[in-house]
Amino acid sequence: METPTLPPQGAIKHGGRWRRVRRFIALPLAALALSGCTVPSFGAHAGATVGSKSVYHLWQGFSIGAVVIGGFVVILFCYAILRFRRKGDNIPRQSQYHLPAEVLYTVIPILVVFGLFAATLVVENKEVANPKTNVTVDVNAFQWGWKFTYPGTSTSVIGQTTQAPTMVIPVDTNVHINLTSTDVIHGFYVKEFNFSRYALPGVLNQFTIQAVKTGTFFGQCTQLCGLYHSLMFFNVKVVTMPQYTAWLASTSNAAAAAAAKATTKQQTDTGVPTKPATSHGDN
């Protein structure tokens, strides 16, 4: 009986196969580059604010990375399961490691991660910044509606569930939002802002947005807050600055008394909201 000779471990030939794999990556990348200036949206949207646009671009950047890396892995995977199917009963070479490859697929992901982190930081710092601004809205979330008050005025907008109160803000201006809750945690989410923030009881969350186009944008509560969580709607209406100033003035005077009453009502209310238009059987 001879001494078993182990095949030389870890020697993977480079060449043909690797070149083919590289070609697989080059093609889609070239297609991407040659497709023109438009990078695909990968499911997201540019939205209506300055911040939403940067977030959108960050999303696209991450997605390109995901497609490249994910695509590469899927190609390797598919190649492996197709090329190395069992053809008989022989036992393949028992290779157990390949140091160069292992180093590569440790180091490259680390570098990619740091790149993603750097891009994240840039956008994140913009998103959490609170520059000086002239327009402030206090947002108060409660079970199960929203109240928008404008400090320095007596304007107050309040609504429950599908009444969907509307927050009016001016376009192209930094709007500072003070967000809190009077009971449980709620989530302030507007799809077109590519943004959400928790309304926490006892905490004042502050953020700044600058809308770049006018229109009415839908928002709703995203953090589970009890029975009518699915119906806690609101709207954000972006108007021009003159329209905003006019609106503020008119609502301030007329609504001064009404706002006070609405606040008291909310405090004495047992919290049962108005039945939404379509009833669908509660408990």
Partner 1 sequence: MTDVLDPPVVLSGDGHGEHHEEHHGPTGILKWLTTTDHKIIGLSYTVTSVIMLVIGGLFAEIIRAQLSSPNGSIVSLAQYNELFTMHGSVMIYLFAGPFAFGGLANIIVPIQIGAPDMAFPRLNALSYWLYLMGAITMLMGFFTAGGAANFGWVAYAPLSNSINTPGAGADLWIGGLLLTGFSAIFTGVNLTATIFYLRAPGMTMFRMPIFTWNMLVTAILILLAFPVLTAGLIMLYCDRHFGTHIFSVAGGGVPVLWQHIFWFWGHPEVYILALPFFGMATEIIAVFSRKPVFGYKSMVFATLSIGALSLGVWAHHMFTTGVVLLPFFSIMSLLIAVPTGIKIFNWIGTMWRGEIWFSTAMLMALGFLFTFLIGGLTGVYLASPPLDFFTHDTYFVVAHFHSIVMALVLAGMGGLYYWGPKITGYMLNERLGKIQFWFLFIGTQVFTFPQYILGLDGMPRRVAVYLHDPQWKTLNDWSTFGAVLVGISTIIFVVNVAASWKKYPVGDNPWDAQTLEWFTTSPPPHHNFYRLPQIRSERPTWDYNHPEHKSLAHGGGTDEPPPLAATLTSALEHGQEEDG
Q: Which CB, 55 or 157, lies closer to partner 1? A: 55
Distance in Å, CB of 154 to partner 1, minimum: 27
Chain residues 262-281 in contact with partner 1, contact rule CB under 8 A:
276, 278, 280-281
211 DSSP 8-state letter: B
Contact 212, 50 (CB under 8 A): yes
* Binder among 25, 66, 246, 258 for partner 1 (CB under 8 A): 66
18 lines the binding site for partner 1 (CB under 8 A): no
The region of 18-26, 80-88, 148-156, 247-255 touching partner 1 under the rule CB under 8 A is 80-88
Of 217, 258, 234, 227, which is closest to residue 141 (Cα–Cα)?
234
Taking alpha carbons only, the member of 236, 193, 255 closest to residue 50 is 193
Residues of this chain, 98-127, that bind partner 1 according to CB under 8 A: 98, 101-102, 105-106, 109-110, 113, 116-117, 119-121, 123-124, 127
Contact 144/231 with Cβ under 8 angstroms?
yes
Write the CB contacts of 202 (distance below 8 Å, at least 6 apart in sequence): 180
The Cα–Cα gap between 140 and 182 comes to: 7
Nearer to partner 1, 152 or 282 (CB): 282
Which DSSP symbol is given to 172?
T
Which CB atom, from 70 or from 151, has the smaller least distance to partner 1? 70
In this chain, which of 33, 86, 131, 267 binds partner 1, going by CB under 8 A? 86
For partner 1, the binding residue among 46, 48, 59, 210 (CB under 8 A) is: 59
Of the pair 22, 93, the CB lying nearest partner 1 is at: 93
Q: How far is the CB of 205 from partner 1 (least distance, A)?
A: 4
- Name the pairing type of β-strands 156-160 and 175-181: unpaired
Assess contact for 221 and 62: CB atoms under 8 A: no
Count of residues in contact with partner 1, rule CB under 8 A: 95
With CB under 8 A as the contact rule, the residue among 81, 132, 152, 270 that binds partner 1 is: 81
Q: Contact with partner 1 (CB under 8 A): which of 4, 8, 36, 242?
A: 4
Handedness of CA 90, 96, 100, 101 (dihedral sign): positive
Of 147-166, which residues contact partner 1 (CB under 8 A)?
A: 162
Where in 114-230 does DSSP place strands (E)?
135-142, 145-149, 156-160, 166-170, 175-181, 186-190, 195-199, 205-209, 215-221
Query: In degrees, to the nearest 5, what angle opens at C-alpha 160 toward C-alphas 157 and 165?
Result: 35
Binding positions for partner 1, 19-48, rule CB under 8 A: 43-45
